[in-house]
Structure 1
Amino acid sequence: MLETEVLQQPKFNGPATTVESDYDYPPYVCGLSSAMKQVAKEELHEDENIRRQALAQFREWIAKHPHIKKCRTDAVFLLRFLRTKKFSVPSACEMLERYLTIRQLFPQWFQQLDINDPAINEIFENGYLVPLPQRDSSGRQVIFSRAAKFDPYKFTSVQMARVHSLICEALLDDEDSQVAGYVYINDESGMNMGFVSLWSLTDLRSIVKCIQNSTPMRHKETHFVNIPHYANRIIELGVSMLSDKLKKRIIVHKNVDILKSKIDAEILPKEYGGTMPMADMIREFKQKLVQRRAAILALDDMQIEVTKEAANFAGNDIGDIDAGVVGSFRKLEVD
Structure 2
Amino acid sequence: MGVGYDSDEENTIEECPLADDLKLVAKQELREDDDIRTHSLRAMRNWIKKHPDIINCRTDAPFLLRFLRTKKFSVPMAQEMLERYLVIRQLYPQWYQKLDIEDPLISDIIDSGFLIPLPGRDEFGRCVLFSSIGRFDPYKYTADEMIRAYSLISESLLDDPENQIKGYNYTNDESGMLMGHLTIWSFTNVKRIIRILQNSIPMRHKASYFINVPNFADKFFTITVSFLSNKLKSRVKFFTGQKELQECIDPKYLPKEYGGEIPLATMIADLKKKLQSQRDKLLALDDMKININSKGKIISEFDDIQEELVGSFRKLEVD
| TM-score > 0.5 by shorter chain | yes
Would you say the 8 A contact 2:156–2:278 is kept in 1? yes
Distance 2:297 2:51 in 1: 15
Change (3 A) 1:11 1:314: farther
Question: How far is 1:265 from its partner?
Answer: 2.3
Which position in structure 2 is the counterpart of 1:82? Answer: 68
- Which among 220, 227, 235 is matched to residue 221 of structure 2? 235
1:272 aligned to 2:266?
no
Distance 1:63 1:100 in 2: 15
- Which among 292, 297, 307 is matched to residue 278 of structure 2? 292
Which position in structure 2 is the counterpart of 1:42? Answer: 28
Which position in structure 1 is the counterpart of 2:298? Answer: 310
Which position in structure 1 is the counterpart of 2:200? Answer: 214
1:101 aligned to 2:87?
yes
Would you say the 8 A contact 1:146–1:188 is kept in 2? yes
SS in 2 for 1:320: helix
SS in 2 for 1:25: helix
Residues 17-45 of structure 1: per-residue CA shift (max 9 Å, x gap): xxx9x996333342533211110011101
Would you say the 8 A contact 2:97–2:286 is kept in 1? yes
1:167 aligned to 2:153?
yes
Distance 1:26 1:311 in 2: 37
Distance 1:45 1:75 in 2: 17
Would you say the 8 A contact 1:206–1:315 is kept in 2? no
Change (3 A) 1:242 1:24: closer
Change (3 A) 1:31 1:276: farther
- Which among 172, 184, 187 is matched to residue 198 of structure 1? 184
Question: How far is 1:276 from its partner?
Answer: 1.0
Which position in structure 2 is the counterpart of 1:3? Answer: none
Question: How far is 1:176 from its partner?
Answer: 0.6
Letter of the aligned partner of 2:5 in structure 1? K
Letter of the aligned partner of 2:306 in structure 1? I
- Which among 305, 323, 330 is matched to residue 313 of structure 2? 323
Q: Tell me, which stretches of 5 or more residues in structure 2 are unaligned?
A: none
Distance 1:316 1:114 in 2: 31
Distance 1:24 1:115 in 2: 28
SS in 1 for 2:184: coil
Which position in structure 2 is the counterpart of 1:330? Answer: none
Residues 36-70 of structure 1: per-residue CA shift (max 9 Å, x gap): 11100111010000000000111111111111010
Identity %: 49
Question: How far is 1:295 from its partner?
Answer: 0.2
Q: Tell me, which stretches of 5 or more residues in structure 1 are unaligned?
A: 1-7, 13-19, 328-335
- Which among 5, 9, 13 is matched to residue 11 of structure 1? 5
* TM alignment of 1:20-35, pairs within 5 A: 25-35=11-21
Would you say the 8 A contact 1:33–1:176 is kept in 2? no
Question: How far is 1:115 from its partner?
Answer: 0.6
The CA RMSD over aligned residues, in Å, is 2.1
- Which among 107, 112, 133 is matched to residue 98 of structure 2? 112
Distance 1:33 1:119 in 2: 38
Would you say the 8 A contact 2:116–2:267 is kept in 1? yes
Distance 1:25 1:315 in 2: 40
* TM alignment of 1:56-71, pairs within 5 A: 56-71=42-57
Distance 1:136 1:277 in 2: 19
SS in 1 for 2:120: coil
Change (3 A) 1:324 1:314: closer
Distance 1:311 1:66 in 2: 18
SS in 2 for 1:144: strand
Question: How far is 1:316 from its partner?
Answer: 4.3
Letter of the aligned partner of 1:323 in structure 2? F
Distance 2:190 2:97 in 1: 18
Distance 1:263 1:139 in 2: 11
Which position in structure 2 is the counterpart of 1:141? Answer: 127
Would you say the 8 A contact 1:210–1:314 is kept in 2? no
Letter of the aligned partner of 2:87 in structure 1? T
Count of matched residue positions in the alignment of Structure 1 and Structure 2 = 313
SS in 2 for 1:251: strand
Moved more, 157-166 or 30-39: 30-39
